[in-house]
Amino acid sequence: MGDDWRKRKRSKMSAIQLNHLKFHYTQGPLVLDIPELKIEQSEKVFIHGPSGTGKSTFLNLVSGILSPSQGDLLVLNQNLANLSAGARDQFRGKNIGYIFQSFNLIPYLTIKDNILLGQHFRKSDFNIEHRADQLAKDLNISAHYNKKATQLSLGQQQRVACARALIQKPQLVIADEPTSSLDDKNTIEFMNLLIKEWEELKFTLVFVSHDLTLARYFDRTIALEEINKVVSI
Amino acid sequence: MISLILKSFRHRWVTSMVCLLSIALSTGLFLGIQQIRNSARESFTDAVSKADLLVGARGGSLPLLLYSIFHLGQPINNISYSTFEDIEKHPAISWAIPYSLGDSYHGHRVVGTSNALFEHYHFRGDNKISLKAGNYFSRPDEVVIGSVVAKKQKLKVGDPIILTHGVSSEGIFQHDQTPFKISGILNSTATPLDKALFITLQGMELLHEGWESGVPPEEQTQLSEEEMNRLRPNQITSFLIGLKSRMMVLRFKGMIDQYKNEPLTATIPALGLQELWNTVGYVESALSLISLCVLAVGLMGIFIALYSSLQERRREMALFRAVGAGTFHIFLMLIGEAFFLVFMGLIFGLALNYLALYLINTWFIDEFSLFLSLKAPGTSEFIFIGSTLISGVLAGTIPAIKAYRQSLQDGLTVQL
């Protein structure tokens, strides 16, 4: 009986859950209409879609920058529509790690300060510096720890971005085409490190890319143009 | 977040420094002008106190005041000594100090006067002249010198000095046939007295003994002490009087203005100083206006620097937002940067102001007989500082609002 309850509860605990989600900008046309999408906790999901399929909007919604116009959006079992803008910002800072395609680092800060950038906006954590050291070691960037961001190669910069996204041990990591500016060698290195970190922390990974050859690293592939009804019409 | 603002400031240091410096410059200029004005006013009004009337030959009261009290400019007409003696005898008069001007020593004015100066001259309220070394003059060929003169010319009690005819520093005729001996050195008063030398009225006559033709006598005239004491002054330039009762001032002034034997002018020093002050006021307003313009340029600079950096900051903003910053944080960061710029500008400006005042102090004493007192900022300075800070924050508001809107629109996905 207890086991059964736990199982049910667990199956309900999804990382991202969309129900009849619709979004349009103020007085603009509908950009997103997703009847259903469910991403389980610790799942690695590969999302692809040509430009104009609502990718930016989707990512801004999931990370709590935007709020749905209609329908439900649950991230880590939290209905973001119920939270104020400020609370969504805090929620993002605490639970979501975000990796950009490029310009992941503040150029005038050191690597260490970049990894710890989020500390300026959230409650301080005594162990965070130690963890930053550890992550820098794991991601082969500790040699550059006190250098300025601009002194690093693109491959190194993306690894710093990865460290910054993972510093809070987030439950959800969103990577928005993180490898599109890297060459093959750096792409493979980045993917291997990311997957290695996933194996350790088991966060939910939402990875957006045009490069379909990367899909092999993931549990599931989602084509955004197939689930967004605005595009398919 | 403050450390983040500081680092962002360092990153954009060229434009930031330009803004900061123009704020600093205008602050320094504005406060400097205020301080010079206040010190100058004090210096002017403190130069003589407790004196009721200043009397000289008929003419403007302002020049009378300038050459008698501040040793600036030259008297055109003298008055006869008998007039002085006549008025001095009046029962309403408590004391009178004669002034006889026209000679100099290395650019310092020589004032022929009497012991009444040391006894009755007041400045800055209750202060009186006092000796630092030696004695007041007791012989016609003795001279008492001000503290600045002693220091600049490296003179000490007992030194012989040769005075110069005329008041320019390169006078043609030297009174070298009548050397004077320094009998005393005065304590510093921070008034024009410090820059002057004082001899007796007889001494003034002694200087010009045999000068009836206006040029030095060809033959050396050595006078015995007895002969010296027999010298009677003919003329003086002006005199300062204190009355037994303040109530008498206006009536006495009227009396002097209508003095029968000779055309005279009497002025109330305090009123004359006020009049003098009003004429200087225009320069001061012009300078204040200029410094406000510089301030406006500085504030506009902050506005432009922040506004034009917004585009290049869009990705930074997205980054900040990704790690949990809200749009309000973005707004605050820009306001914070503007505040920091103005704040540092003000600090530098204050430092600049005091440094400059300190440096020009001696020059001001020499050139204008103005003694600048370095004072802590007062109410008007704090009003300036406060309103500059507020304007700085206001200058940062529009860029901050734009950044806020921009980050609201961009979210995490910046489309450039």
Q: Kindly give the parts of chain A with pLDDT less than 70.
A: 1-12, 124, 231-233
Tell me if A22 is assigned to some domain: no
Cα separation, B90 vs B210, whole angstroms: 33
Q: How many angstroms separate the CA atoms of A50 and A102, rounded?
A: 18
Domain extents in chain B? 2-44+280-409, 53-267
Q: Are A116 and A195 in contact (CB under 8 A)?
A: no
pLDDT at position B376, please?
76
Instruction: Using an 8 Å CB-CB cutoff, list residues of chain B that contact chain A.
Output: 1, 3-4, 7-8, 10-11, 315-316, 318-329, 411-413, 415
Q: Do residues B209 and B171 make contact, with C-beta atoms less than 8 angstroms apart?
A: no
Total residue length of chain B: 416
Do the domain assignments include residue A214? yes
User: What pLDDT is recorded for position B223?
Assistant: 67
Beta-bridge partner residues of B180: B161
Position B214 scores a pLDDT of 62
Residues of chain B with pLDDT under 50: none
> Which pLDDT score, from 0 to 100, does residue B81 have?
92
Tens digits of per-residue pLDDT, A77-99? 888 888 888 899 889 988 999 99
Pick left, alpha or beta for residue B2 (phi over 0 → left; psi -120 to 50 → alpha; otherwise beta): alpha
**Are β-strands A204-208 and A70-75 bridged in parallel, bridged antiparallel, or unpaired?**
unpaired
**B4 token code pair:** 């983040």
Note whether B111 and B196 are within 8 A (CB).
Answer: yes
Which of B3, B324, B327 lies nearest to residue A122, judging by beta carbons?
B324
Sort out which chain A residues have CB atoms less than 8 A from B8's CB and list them.
Answer: 108
Distance CA B406, CA A205 (A): 28
Query: B346-374: per-residue pLDDT in tens?
Result: 999 999 988 888 888 777 766 666 667 77
CA-CA distance, A153 to A173, in Å (whole number)? 23
- Residue B198 is predicted with a pLDDT of 95
**Which residues does chain A have within 8 Å of residue B319's beta carbon, measured at their own beta carbons?**
100, 103-106, 117
Quickly count helices (H) and strands (E) in chain A.
9, 9
**Which pLDDT score is estimated for A44?**
94
Domain carrying residue A99: 41-67+84-232
Q: What is the spatial distance between Cα A33 and Cα A19, in angstroms, rounded to a whole number?
A: 10
Structure tokens at B69: 């009290």
Q: The complex's ipTM?
A: 0.85
Looking at residue A212, which CATH number applies to its domain? 3.40.50.300
pLDDT tens-digit series, residues B9-49: 788 788 788 888 888 988 888 888 878 777 777 777 778 88
Is residue A53 a part of any domain in this protein?
yes
- pLDDT for the residue numbered B370: 66
Which chain A residues are closer than 8 Å to B411 by Cβ? 56, 60, 63, 65-66
Would A171 be classed as within a structural domain?
Answer: yes
Region for B136 from its dihedrals, namely left if φ exceeds 0, alpha if ψ lies in -120 to 50, beta otherwise: beta
pLDDT value of position A8: 43
Domains of chain A: total: 1
Residue A31 lies in a domain: no
Which pLDDT does position B241 carry in this prediction?
93
In a domain, A209, yes or no: yes
Q: Do A60 and B319 touch (CB under 8 A)?
A: no
pLDDT value at position B221? 60
Nearest to B326 among A85, A105, A176 (CB): A85
